[in-house]
Amino acid sequence: MPRIAIVLSPGFQMMCFAAISAFEVANVAAGEARYDITLLSEDGGLVKNTLGAGLETERFDDPGIFDTVITGGLMMPKPSSDGLIAFLRAAGGACRRVASICTGAFILAEAGLLDGRRATTHWLFARDLKARFPRVRMEEDRIFIIDGPIWTSAGMTAGIDLALGMIENDYGAELARVVAQNLVVYHRRAGGQSQHSTLLKMDAKSDRIQNALVFARQNLRLPLSVEQLSEAAHLSPRQFSRAFRAETGQTPARAVENLRVEAARLMLEQSRHTLDEIAIENGFTDRERMRRAFLRAFGQPPQTIRRAARLGADA
């Protein structure tokens, strides 16, 4: 049974416990203990978070007794103690996995565990990390990244995606799916997914327009005409078009194209499907229409984006 150690520093950000809950729920969903979870700190005892509430921890010593060591992030990155750095360096050589949530990546970088590796963190701090630790191959627009034994995640809720990825890696996709369902995670995101969601950017105000967008995201293979979308929103086509543009600043056609491009890019980077298959799966009809959409969105054709993703993975 994997032993998971969560390393906390004074002023840790509370959202890291959302990720811990995924391992806890995995035990419940499996009907037996699949993970043993321990809270650690340098001195042990009570460690206070950003809100001033304290949690009891054990004093860290030998990292070799743990399968996975995860360091939680701080609201604002700051230099780590020599003891914490030494512990994480030792964990890098003794544990199967070492991971960070959010700005915890700064701590791994201080320990030298990210040197020469691909990594991510909260987009607000990504450029700062890259400037302070130039040997880190920062990818600031990813939910989480696995580079060998090192896992790093973006901010806040991305820690849940990282934990679900570990559960899938350990026990398979079905348990990870059940855990996500129990956590009421609406959509389990893959590590390569962008931190910036097209649905979030459109920021629909009403439930009706949100329902239409969700319908579109789940049915990209369909033509997704205004009539189909307005039916999902329970509005007339004229009412729908007017309300959609007022709430999102886009036409329905442009919004659907943006959703298709986002989904197609993820498939390009993470699957071996052909360009024709990806185009059909995401409603572009043919690869030429997909190519033109990619040029509008990214200034690059799909082949270039796939090639860059593969080169990054190989490196």
Please state whether beta strands 150-153 and 97-100 pair in parallel, antiparallel, or not at all (unpaired): parallel
Asked if 67 and 96 touch (Cβ cutoff 8 Å), the reply is yes
* Cα-based distances in Å from 150 to 70, 106, 192: 10, 13, 15
Instruction: Read off the tokens for 243.
Output: 């309300």
Asked if 168 and 176 touch (Cβ cutoff 8 Å), the reply is yes
Q: At what angle do helices 237-248 and 252-270 cross, to 10 degrees?
A: 70
What are the backbone dihedrals phi and psi of residue 144, each rounded to the nearest 5 degrees, phi first? -150, 160
102 is catalytic: yes
- Residue-wise DSSP of 164-224: HHHHHHHH-HHHHHHHHHHTT-SSPPPTTS-SS-HHHHH---SHHHHHHHHHHHH-TTS--
Q: Which among 15, 84, 89, 88 has a CA at the least distance from the CA of 49? A: 15
What are the backbone dihedrals phi and psi of residue 26, each rounded to the nearest 5 degrees, phi first? -60, -40
Catalytic residue among 7, 22, 84, 102: 102
CB atoms within 10 A of CB 249: 12
Catalogue the active-site residues. Answer: 102
